[in-house]
Amino acid sequence: MGRRKKIDLTKIEKIKSPKTTFQNVKGMNDILPKDQFYWQIINDVGRKIAKLRGYYFIETPTLEPANLFKFSVGQYTDIVEKEMFVFETKGKDLVALKPENTASVMRAYLQHQLNYFSLPLKVFYFDRFFRYEKPQHGRERQFHQFGFEILGDSDPVYDAETILTAYHFFDELKIKNIKVRINTLGCKNCRLNYKNNLKAYYKKHKRKLCKDCQKRYQKNILRLLDCKEESCQVYKKEAPIILDYLCNNCNNHFKVVLEVLEDNGIFYEPDPYLVRGLDYYNRTVFEFNEIPPEGDSQLNFELGGGGRYDYLSEYISKKEVPAVGFALGVERIIELLKVRNIKQDKKEKVKIFFVAVGEQAKKSALKYIHLLRINNFIVDEALGRNSLKAQMKMADRVKANISLILGQREIYEGTIIFRDMTTGVQENLILNNLVEEIKNKMKLNKD
Ligand code: HAM
């Protein structure tokens, strides 16, 4: 996060008119109407689960003080060292586009003293985040997470509760083949002992590690276990594991978490080298992956991850607030639903298409459309098109179930044509009693 070169804003002003159509910034994608269904379903499922499990909504600002992440996520993590979008505001504040939400949620909890709320406080968010990564399949510079955090309690049942919440989420989306890899990072005491032993082990291999790991060796030894470089994997295989260094309390904590998971039929895979890419974790850490269907290759990304972060509050204030949580990557889950063709229940409501032909009918149309909409009918229209044919074509395109057709003659007679778009059968309804008539028609159709 060193000083950057000043940007010459006059260059922006010099461009009078763009030569080509602007494109999105690399790694920051548009979410288009064709994907609305997926985003809606994630939103619905996430909110339903939050409601059932007692989580309250929280939203933190897009910009946070850059140092918040330096002190919590960790100065020597990839996220802070390489991936944060950091800049100075006109008021000379150093801010960052938030790369994640756990630190922000804790900041908000401490700032607004949310401990009065309930113990523990459970919150959820559906938000966008920014990391300057190399864009590739499942890895973007702007992405979304659906996250759940439980603040104010150190009991291991809450570690298990977060994992069960994630499984609930996957289940609701009909994603069945999920495994959770799980590990513990112990507490300050047992971790210190472990880190010393890890350092002693890696000392003899130091020269053969990748450049990043040689730096990590000096500054943040646990990060060595997180390295994805092929050349470093062989040394990881023989490295000491934290389970051999746990104190009694941490051992018991982990045992309870695993027992509760077993009681709930969760298929977990212990991974003694799982450390996660953020420094604020202690004790339980976990990541979710798909188990690919037989014959299919594994999607090369985690769907989500989380863990306990009892010390995070102390890194950014003087308060102790034990906490645990996780976040799911929304783009990745959507990708999984698409790639594996996992169908969702469509509880779509009946869609009405309102057709108006002639000046008089068009003028009156909005009154009836509004009336239907405030009575909870989904109504689409193409009032900008004049001909009956053009409007009916649009009704087909948006897959309307019913068309209501209003022309000069209908206005004069006080009626409207009701057309069932599946059967093509038409009949006239009384315009003055439109809402009731349509409700009756739908009841009849159901029977
Ligand atoms: P994280 O593992 O950095 O954890 O991110 C959580 C999830 O966000 C990842 O598993 C992945 O699905 C998604 N994700 C991360 N980076 C990208 C990216 N560049 N493009 C697309 N998806 C991405 C956290 O952020 C922690 N705050 C989670 C947590 C909550 N821990 C405790 N509470």
Instruction: Encode pLDDT of 8-18 as tens digits.
Output: 766 666 666 77
Model confidence pLDDT, tens digit, residues 366-399? 999 999 999 999 999 999 998 999 999 999 999 9
- Is the torsion defined by CA of 250, 256, 259, 261 positive or negative? negative
Ligand 1 atom showing the smallest separation from residue 302 Cα: 10
Identify the pLDDT of residue 118.
Answer: 72
**Ligand 1: distance of its center to the CA of 304 in Å?**
6
- In whole angstroms, what is the distance from residue 372 CA to residue 366 CA? 10
Q: What angle do CA 111, 115, 121 make, to 5 degrees?
A: 110
Identify the pLDDT of residue 10.
Answer: 65
Pocket test for ligand 1, best of 98, 107, 141, 145 (most atoms within 8 A of CB): 145
Q: With a 6 A CB cut-off, is 133 part of the ligand 1 pocket?
A: yes
Q: With a 6 A CB cut-off, is 145 part of the ligand 1 pocket?
A: yes
Range 213-223 average pLDDT: 91
The two structure tokens encoding residue 143: 């992405």
> Which distant-in-sequence residues (6+ apart) come within 8 Å of 436 by Cβ?
none
- In whole angstroms, what is the distance from residue 171 CA to residue 164 CA? 10
Residue 441 or residue 171, greater confidence:
171
Q: Report phi then psi at 286, rounded to 5.
A: -155, 155
Ligand 1 atom showing the smallest separation from residue 309 Cα: 32
Average pLDDT, the chain: 93
Identify the pLDDT of residue 295.
Answer: 87
**Ligand 1: distance of its center to the CA of 213 in Å?**
22
* Protein residue with its CA nearest to atom 20 in ligand 1: 139
Residue 140 in this model has a pLDDT that exceeds 90: yes
**pLDDT over 90, % of the chain:** 84
The two structure tokens encoding residue 351: 């869609």
Range 297-324 average pLDDT: 94
Ligand 1 atom showing the smallest separation from residue 325 Cα: 33
Range 300-306 average pLDDT: 94
Q: With a 6 A CB cut-off, is 149 part of the ligand 1 pocket?
A: yes
- In whole angstroms, what is the distance from residue 417 CA to residue 422 CA? 15
Pocket test for ligand 1, best of 72, 73, 143 (most atoms within 8 A of CB): 143
The whole model's pTM is what?
A: 0.91
Residue 23 in this model has a pLDDT that exceeds 70: yes
Model confidence pLDDT, tens digit, residues 321-359? 999 999 999 999 999 999 999 999 877 788 999 999 999
Q: With a 6 A CB cut-off, is 310 part of the ligand 1 pocket?
A: no
Residue 19 in this model has a pLDDT that exceeds 80: no
Ligand 1 atom showing the smallest separation from residue 287 Cα: 10
Which stretches of 239-306 are DSSP H helices?
Answer: 248-263
- In whole angstroms, what is the distance from residue 59 CA to residue 397 CA? 37
Identify the pLDDT of residue 14.
Answer: 66
Q: With a 6 A CB cut-off, is 306 part of the ligand 1 pocket?
A: yes
Residue 132 in this model has a pLDDT that exceeds 70: yes
Ligand 1 atom showing the smallest separation from residue 131 Cα: 19
Which of these, 434, 426, 432, 442, lies nearest to 388 by C-alpha position?
426
3-state secondary structure of 394: helix
Ligand 1 atom showing the smallest separation from residue 288 Cα: 10
Measured from the Cβ of residue 132, the count of other Cβ atoms closer than 10 Å reads: 16
